[in-house]
A = this chain, B = another copy of it.
């Protein structure tokens, strides 16, 4: 391990605060306090607030690259189903980072990993839209991505009941997203 566990904990805490309170709304002091460190120590491990964010989202960017690369553009339905499953698992694993990309990506383009993630998401959306171009498919993709990410991150805001990481949630989300990412429903 070249990265000590304390640095990983710091990244986890930082990502949590950046995703929920916003990059501008999060101070190095509050991150340090949550980690049981001083602000100086945080800046010892990461040379700046931006660098801390970059390190915190880097794993999510790498995994997103792998996910998008494995998208079966014109695969058979089975392949597609398996991809949707990987998609949901990715959201589970990196929900905070995805939430951050979607809600703050535009204002954090100057941070390299964020810009990369945005470009990947854009390529992803275009690949989806290429299958059956049209406004509705684009909308469905956006609703699925944003809705799933939000359900996993911020649902506790207005839903009294916490959505734990149970298989129930995963299954429900899988069916919901799957129906959204399949082609437009024939009936209307």
Chain A count of residues within 8 A CB distance of the other chain: 58
Residues in B with CB closer than 8 Å to A102 are 150, 154, 157-158
Closest Cβ neighbor of A161 among chain B residues: B138
Q: A146-B150, A146-B151 are in contact. Are A121 and B158 (CB under 8 A)?
A: yes
Q: Determine the chain B residues whose CB is within 8 A of the CB of A146 once the complex forms.
A: 146-147, 149-151, 154
* Closest Cβ–Cβ distance, residue A172 to chain B (whole Å): 4
Q: A176–B139 contact, CB under 8 A? A: yes
**Which of B104, B160, B176 interacts with A140 by CB under 8 Å?**
B176
CA distance A91 to B161 in the complex (A): 24
A118-B155 Cα distance, complex, nearest whole Å: 11
Q: Is A32 an interface residue (CB 8 A)?
A: no
Of B125, B150, B155, B163, the contact of A150 (CB 8 Å cutoff): B150
| Chain B proximity mask over A171-188: 1 for CB below 8 Å, otherwise 0 | 111011101100011001
Interface of A is mostly: helix
Most buried by B among A24, A25, A147, A180: A147
Chain B residues whose C-beta falls within 8 Å of the C-beta of A168 in the assembled complex: 135
Contact with B along A49-61 (1 / 0, CB 8 A): 0000000000000
24 contacts between A and B (CB under 8 A): A22-B25, A22-B104, A24-B26, A101-B158, A103-B154, A105-B157, A121-B157, A122-B159, A124-B158, A136-B172, A136-B176, A138-B159, A139-B172, A139-B173, A142-B147, A142-B151, A143-B180, A144-B147, A146-B147, A146-B149, A146-B150, A146-B151, A147-B148, A147-B150
Listed in ascending order, the chain A residues whose CB lies under 8 Å from chain B are: 20-26, 101-107, 118, 121-122, 124-126, 135-136, 138-140, 142-151, 154-161, 163, 166, 168-169, 171-173, 175-177, 179-180, 184-185, 188
